[in-house]
Amino acid sequence: MDKKRVLCALSGGADSSAAAKLLLEEGYEVEGASMFLCLPDCIDDAKKVAEKLGIRFHPFVLIHTFEQKVIEDFIVTYLRGGTPNPCIECNKYLKFGKFLDMALELGFDYIATGHYVRREFDEKLGRWQLMRSPNREKDQSYVLYGLTQEQLAHTLFPVGCMNKSEILDIVHGDGLVSEDKPESQDICFIPDGDYAGFITRRVGEPPHGDILLTDGTKLGEHKGLMRYTIGQRKGIGVSYSERLFVVDKRRRDNTLILGREDELCRSELTACELNLVRYADLPDGFRCTCQTRYHQKDVPCTLHPLGEGRIRVEFDLPHRAICRGQSVVFYDGNYVVGGGKIE
């Protein structure tokens, strides 16, 4: 039987390096690749890992696609009053989109990554399943809910069931990765974490506007909606007799709305760009749990498909600080049912 060919996405970090080493030990024909998106150091580190493993390395320059699909979406979503999740967009269009397409064109059977998730084929349902990692602290299923059946069929997750300590033993024992190499940043193209500064440098200062209470009382002036987050309490720049939180960023009139903590809670939401993983379709009234933020505790809910890639989610109990632009991901136990982008 011919060896299956795998192109392993290498970042130069511990997880992807361990994934490549494990695949070699399992008998796969492995080569490495890295996407040049914004940080050239990652390419250099990944190439060094490939050299140590004795495998061929492919540098993919995808700066234009990254700029168009990830960075532009990030900026536009913030300017429209939302809160984007660029890692989800990058996974969708780059890591499991363009990267997989290029791997298949080169004749590989699979790609592999260092993500903490599991996948398996359900014979009864006739579908590939995406499942949480047993290592719940590191589980990354929330940011991978957008994977299609075709993408899951051609992707391996060698470290999905492992603990970080096991992975570090693999890469440090062989000297694949330096012990003082830090873990990757949440948002690679903004290493200092100054989102507002990044956007301002790109498009200029955002327009200021009114800060209002939910009853319409004016409290002051904000410095651009992108500088505030739903649920934020500190750093707003107004004083009041009781604690106030950002409860809405109203784009139509460029207004920041503040309210009490109980006014942060919503009983339902709608989402678009729906992607289903576990099932091909959902009945109205489907019961499951969901997360509206990464690493958030699951909450029970009821789903109502609306057609055309949209879905309404009803929470059993009012849910706090829901942000437009973030994703809602549905779970059936450890299985990812699917998810969509919050409207």
Residue type, 292: T
Provide the token pair at 96: 């499991």
Q: How far is CA 196 from CA 78, 88, 200, 227, 239, in A?
A: 9, 20, 6, 6, 23
Backbone angles phi, psi at 52, to 5 degrees: -65, -35
User: Which one from 38, 161, 188, 265 is the annotated catalytic residue?
Assistant: 188
Is 265 part of the annotated catalytic residue set? no
Cβ atoms within 10 Å, residue 136 = 11
**CB of 309 closer than 8 Å to CB of 274:** yes
User: Which one from 90, 288, 301, 323 is the annotated catalytic residue?
Assistant: 90
Which residue, among 150, 171, 136, has the nearest Cα to 11 in the 3D structure?
Answer: 171
Q: How far apart are CA 296 and CA 327, in angstroms?
A: 12
Q: How far apart are CA 63 and CA 60, in angstroms?
A: 9
Q: How far apart are CA 49 and CA 42, in angstroms?
A: 11
Which residue, among 128, 130, 151, 152, has the nearest Cα to 139 in the 3D structure?
Answer: 130
Is 90 part of the annotated catalytic residue set? yes
Q: How far apart are CA 87 and CA 103, in angstroms?
A: 21
Catalytic residue IDs: 90, 188
